[in-house]
Amino acid sequence: QQQQQQQQQQQKNSQQPPANSTSQQPTANEKNTPTPPTSNMASSGGNVSIDTNLYSRQIGTYGMETMGKLMQMKVLISGLRGLGAETAKNLILAGPAAVVLHDDGVVEMKDLGSNFYLSESDVGRRSRAEACEAHLKELNPYVTVSVLKGPISADVVKGLSCIVLSDTADAEIKRLNAITRAQSPAVGLIVADTFGVAASVFVDFGDDFVVRDKDGEECRSAIVAGITQENPGVVHTHEGRRHGFQDGDWVTFTELQGMTELNNAPARQIKVTGPYSFTIGDTSGLSPYLREGIVTQVKVPTPLKFRSYEEVMKQPKAPNEELPLPDLAKFGRSEQLHFAIRALQAYRASKSELPPTRDEAAATKCVQLAKEINAATKKEGGMALDELEDDVIKKVAYWSRCSISPMCAFLGGVVAQEVVKMTGKYMPLHQVLYFDMFELIPKTLPADWQPLKSRYDDQIAILGKSFQQRLSKLNIFLVGAGALGCEYLKCFAMMGAGCGGTGKVTVTDMDNIEISNLNRQFLFRQGDVGQPKSLTAGRAAKAMNKDLQIHAMEVRVGPDTEETFDDQFWNETDVVVNALDNIQARLYVDSRCVWFAKPLLESGTLGTKGNVQVVLPFLTQSYGDSQDPPEESIPLCTLKHFPHAIEHTIEWARDFFEQLFVEAPREVNTFLSDAPAYLAKLPSEGTGTFQLAKMTVIKRALEQRSGRYGVCVDFAVHEFQEKFHDSIAQLLHTFPLEHRTSEGALFWSGPKRPPQPLKFDPSDPLHLEFVQAAANLYAANLGIPQERDTETIARLASQVKLTAFAPKEVQIKVDDKDTTREGCLDDDEKARNMIQEMQALGARQKASTHLTPAEFEKDDDSNFHIAFIAAAANLRARNYKITEADFHKVKMTAGKIIPAIATTTAMVTGLVGCELLKILDLKTRKVEDFKNAFATLALPLWVLSEPMPPLKTVSKDFDPIVQGPVKAKPEGFSSWDKILIDKGDCTLGDFVDCLQDDHGVEVVILSVGNACLYNSFLPAHRKRLKEKVTKIWEDVTKQPMPPKKSYLTIEVSASDAEDGTDVMIPTIQFKFR
């Protein structure tokens, strides 16, 4: 975290295809070329229309402005081995205007080990660019994909936004860099390569690049509690919530009373002095601060000057910056790799090729060249090292011709994200990254490394033929076939994992494919929408490598499917790879891996952030050993009466949707099913106000269901009046603007923003949006045909008669600690009278058909669900003078959509792929060979570190829970340890005696999951000691023992048999079969 904070502080494109292009804009009639799907389009603010269904998760990361800029970019990718293919795939999914492929090299068999779009039929027949073109076109119908043959001319460069080069000679890089820098604005240049298990990236965006948003994080805001008049002035924020600002942030002020000179003034840079305070420079000459105010972070454009490739090769460190250090255990490695890779380029310049694989003479020559380059740059005043590490240089040289899938996936994600940064979103790499996974190299280099003319030759060159054979026999369980799952399947197919002998990849996912998946789950196409993810992904991965042995399932992994994923299944599994999107499922899979002592590769993404956790039996923490803190919840009173942020109004609107169109129709249906029972139970539920509201909803729905669409508009207008006028007016009646608390402070201050009622106006677009959405949703509930013509709805709305607001004497809670019983006292009597009225209505409506509750669906913009929530949220924001939100922000927040992009997914997959290769030699490896990872492509930042050891349970002299000493037996056991009791289907008494005789503990409480089998404090449980443990389990759980189950997982609370001290022991595996 400290390193991340430090690095955070440091840190009219042509629409015509380039000349010499062999293919142009694809048409709908071309074979294998998709047409854009029918979906909702939105404007980015310019002339670009954006498919918000396809790009919804990406928009959640980038925002509409960046998407608009990205969709005008034209990018050339030169070099289509594994890295080029990964970059092209990630970039096309992101959605630029055009991607031009450039690689005249003829496909070789070994290319199939990293380029997933090549096939054996392409070998020796087609260029890599031509062989990839059709497949890449299928990824995104909005992107023009073409092939450039021959050299990259200056005229070609002029029509581009950015060029990505790989497998390119030094002289050609310098030639193209001179051309890109000469353009106005400069054309971006990215040079990236993988050399076996080493990699490098160089970025140049010209002399005058501007970063609009360095980190992509949403701007924070805080409520001002005070500002001092001094130099520097100190701002104090409301103590209800930490301000969350960082040193160097820029902020602006609004709504200040006193010190009004700061309101809407130019942004000021801050220095943080505490979680609730910061300084803003000299305020001594300003008027005194009185009260109120909002401070908001703003994004200030950051100019960034890039140097040329030639300059950076001499001095890779920018002024006042250090080279990125991805692996905390490899201090100084980036500098060593810099000279190793420069030596490779020098070797290529003299020999017209990279060093041959495992050629000792060539590697020695590279060491000599590196030393000569180091000496020369020292004389020129560039970066020079006191000592070069021969071993590092040789490891790069030995396998410089090799391209393996995990390294390509990692770097392909990084490089594609750097291309996106040409839009000005996020901090570009400034300017080089060096990375290695030397841990993959065997301690003793394999003797069986010679090429076999197979797709795995590059991998065999590093790891050996026997390793490859063991890899092919690996039995992998992949949980999830979404974005990560698709990438993992591709990775397994490329590496040959589960591709031979008894090897197999089992993948399971219950979900079907949706349009929004197509933007990052690259194995799916438009025609696959509605199909099962696991089956479709399995077929697509097998098409990449026919030898992949895959078993696709549509079964959820959880306690209810343990008969499917039984002991035999887990025992036969070699490694588990999680590709899940929820914590509960992750924890369950992790618990299974801990129980069966199986390695687990855990990973996740959130926008530009990604993480990898390696879970190794008895060597590392499990996933469940450490968890993120819970998300902050919004206090109920804040939602109901006192919102002060747009997130509060969106959450309120989501609840409002649920109440009106889901819960209300269900209440009606419950009433229709058995009115007497419903009305008999109602008096025990809540206040009279609450009961009256329920019955009013039911009565209204039953009376209006036979009407025409006009009753739906009437309903919507009255809901508007109630929520955005009357309830606000009532709140102000109860707590007038001048109201003061018992302490004498103004009630409406700090986080309590004084609201204002809204008068319904059918000519106001937002008012009409609410009425249209609410009326159509209500019509769907009632079974009345919907109306989408806004003029008709506006006309009907203008005819609705509204009654003037009359205040009531009501009780309202002022915060969540308030014990006041909310509601109107007069409503109790009204509720009792209405129950009598409803009894007659229930008798009349007994045979009526039920209403149709809404089922919330966030990804269908035509169903009015998000439209209603957006309108309601923004109307409430107007009530409280909160800045309104655009439709997509509401969609992301209300739908709890996790921002996701293909680049982060690919990067994480590459890191996991490397760890999978290490797991194959787990028995001979040390834990420090493995790498957990945290990365954020926005900054950019990579932090690789050794996995943490397992948490140990140890004895304590005083435990705060038991209020006394606690013993651990055995001392220092972890979650990986368990006690095996293998005495057959024995009695509980025998089980208890076994624990006392073999482990010296007396059983106090014995449980399996939530079922308590024995409690020594309960006399009635004594008779259970004579019964079999399995029978007790069946009696308590009221279910038969599953036929495949051979053991119970038992947790025991115990005490020491000698001195009675509380004892903690590992989980018990009671084997009864």
Between 26 and 302, the higher pLDDT residue: 302
Q: 272 - beta bridge partners?
A: 278
| Burial degree of 243 (CB within 10 A; 0-12, 13-18, 19+) | buried
Q: Alpha-carbon Rg of the chain, whole angstroms? A: 33
Residue 714, pLDDT > 90, answer yes
Residue 559, pLDDT > 60, answer yes
Q: Encode pLDDT of 500-538 as tens digits.
A: 999 999 999 999 999 999 999 999 999 999 999 999 999
Q: Is residue 24 very low, low, confident or very high in pLDDT (cuts 50, 70, 90)? A: very low
Q: β-strands 432-436, 198-204: how paired?
A: antiparallel
CA 511/CA 31 separation, integer angstroms: 29
- Cα–Cα distances in Å, from 30 out to 24, 127, 525, 633, 941? 11, 20, 16, 52, 42
Range 490-507 average pLDDT: 97
Question: Residue 328's Cα: distance from chain center in Å?
Answer: 24
Range 304-333 average pLDDT: 96
Question: Residue 610's Cα: distance from chain center in Å?
Answer: 8
Question: Residue 115's Cα: distance from chain center in Å?
Answer: 26
Q: Is residue 821 very low, low, confident or very high in pLDDT (cuts 50, 70, 90)? A: low
| Residue 184, both tokens | 């106005």
CA-wise closest residue to 816 among 756, 751, 880: 751
Residue 39, pLDDT > 60, answer no
CA-wise closest residue to 442 among 426, 428, 462: 462
CA-wise closest residue to 710 among 621, 785, 638: 785
| Residue 153, both tokens | 């001319």
Q: Please check whether residue 278 is in contact with residue 267, taking contact to mean a CB–CB distance below 8 angstroms.
A: no
Q: Is residue 825 very low, low, confident or very high in pLDDT (cuts 50, 70, 90)? A: low
CA-wise closest residue to 425 among 608, 216, 204: 216
| Residue 986, both tokens | 């024995």
Residue type for position 972: G
Active-site positions read 637
Q: Please check whether residue 408 is in contact with residue 373, taking contact to mean a CB–CB distance below 8 angstroms.
A: no
Residue 639, pLDDT > 90, answer yes
- Phi, psi (deg, nearest 5) at residue 257: -110, 115
Neighbours of 939 (CB within 10 A): 21
| Residue 568, both tokens | 């035999």
Q: What is the pLDDT at residue 4? A: 44
CA 74/CA 162 separation, integer angstroms: 7
Between 555 and 844, the higher pLDDT residue: 555
- Phi, psi (deg, nearest 5) at residue 936: -135, 115
For the chain, the farthest-separated pair of C-alpha atoms sits apart, in whole angstroms, at 100
Neighbours of 669 (CB within 10 A): 17
Q: Encode pLDDT of 774-801 as tens digits.
A: 999 999 999 999 999 999 999 999 999 9
| DSSP classification of residue 109 | G
Q: What is the pLDDT at residue 235? A: 98
3-state class (DSSP) for residue 613: strand
Q: What is the pLDDT at residue 44? A: 67
Kindly report the average pLDDT of the chain as a whole number.
93
Residue 689, pLDDT > 70, answer yes
- Cα–Cα distances in Å, from 1065 out to 514, 962, 1005, 1017, 1061? 47, 15, 12, 20, 13
Cα angle 511, 515, 519 (rounded to 5 degrees) comes to 100
| Burial degree of 881 (CB within 10 A; 0-12, 13-18, 19+) | middle
Cα angle 841, 844, 846 (rounded to 5 degrees) comes to 100
Residue type for position 925: R
Q: β-strands 162-165, 188-195: how paired?
A: parallel
Q: What is the pLDDT at residue 690? A: 85
Q: What is the pLDDT at residue 35? A: 53
Residue 36, pLDDT > 80, answer no
| Burial degree of 998 (CB within 10 A; 0-12, 13-18, 19+) | exposed
Residue 405, pLDDT > 90, answer yes
3-state secondary structure 500-533: CCCCEEEEECCCECCHHHHHCCCCCCHHHCCCEH
CA 654/CA 1027 separation, integer angstroms: 52
Q: Please check whether residue 99 is in contact with residue 145, taking contact to mean a CB–CB distance below 8 angstroms.
A: yes
Residue 38, pLDDT > 90, answer no
CA 964/CA 981 separation, integer angstroms: 29
What are the strands of the beta sheet with 198-204, ordered from one edge? 144-147, 98-102, 74-78, 162-165, 188-195, 198-204, 432-436
CA-wise closest residue to 440 among 198, 171, 187, 125: 198
Q: What is the pLDDT at residue 812? A: 73
Q: What is the pLDDT at residue 819? A: 67
3-state class (DSSP) for residue 1004: strand
709-721 vs 790-798: helix crossing angle, rounded to 10: 60
Range 7-26 average pLDDT: 35
Question: Residue 442's Cα: distance from chain center in Å?
Answer: 34
Residue 43, pLDDT > 70, answer no
Residue 19, pLDDT > 90, answer no
Q: How many helices (H) and strands (E) does the chain have?
A: 33, 38
Q: What is the pLDDT at residue 837? A: 87
Residue type for position 674: D
Range 482-506 average pLDDT: 97
Q: Encode pLDDT of 1010-1020 as tens digits.
A: 999 999 999 99
Q: Please check whether residue 454 is in contact with residue 197, taking contact to mean a CB–CB distance below 8 angstroms.
A: no
Residue 21, pLDDT > 50, answer no
CA 481/CA 32 separation, integer angstroms: 24
Q: What is the pLDDT at residue 484? A: 98
| Residue 731, both tokens | 């709140």
CA 64/CA 68 separation, integer angstroms: 6
Residue 330, pLDDT > 60, answer yes
Q: 200 - beta bridge partners?
A: 193, 434
Of 44-48, 149-153, 655-659, the least confident? 44-48
Contacts of 679 (CB under 8 A, 6+ apart): 671, 835, 838, 839, 842
CA-wise closest residue to 765 among 789, 786, 794: 794
- Cα–Cα distances in Å, from 1029 out to 990, 1035, 1041? 9, 10, 11
Q: Please check whether residue 737 is in contact with residue 686, taking contact to mean a CB–CB distance below 8 angstroms.
A: no
Q: What is the pLDDT at residue 31? A: 37
Q: What is the pLDDT at residue 221? A: 95
3-state class (DSSP) for residue 119: coil
Q: Within 13 Å of residue 232, how many CA atoms lie on the same side as its CB? A: 14
Q: Is residue 28 very low, low, confident or very high in pLDDT (cuts 50, 70, 90)? A: very low
Range 551-555 average pLDDT: 98
- Phi, psi (deg, nearest 5) at residue 662: -120, -60
- The torsion defined by the Cα of 814, 815, 821 and 822, in degrees rounded to 10, comes to 60
Range 6-28 average pLDDT: 35
Q: What is the pLDDT at residue 822? A: 61
CA-wise closest residue to 136 among 100, 104, 92: 92
Q: Encode pLDDT of 79-96 as tens digits.
A: 999 999 999 999 999 999
| % of the chain beyond a pLDDT of 70 | 95
Q: Please check whether residue 395 is in contact with residue 344, taking contact to mean a CB–CB distance below 8 angstroms.
A: no
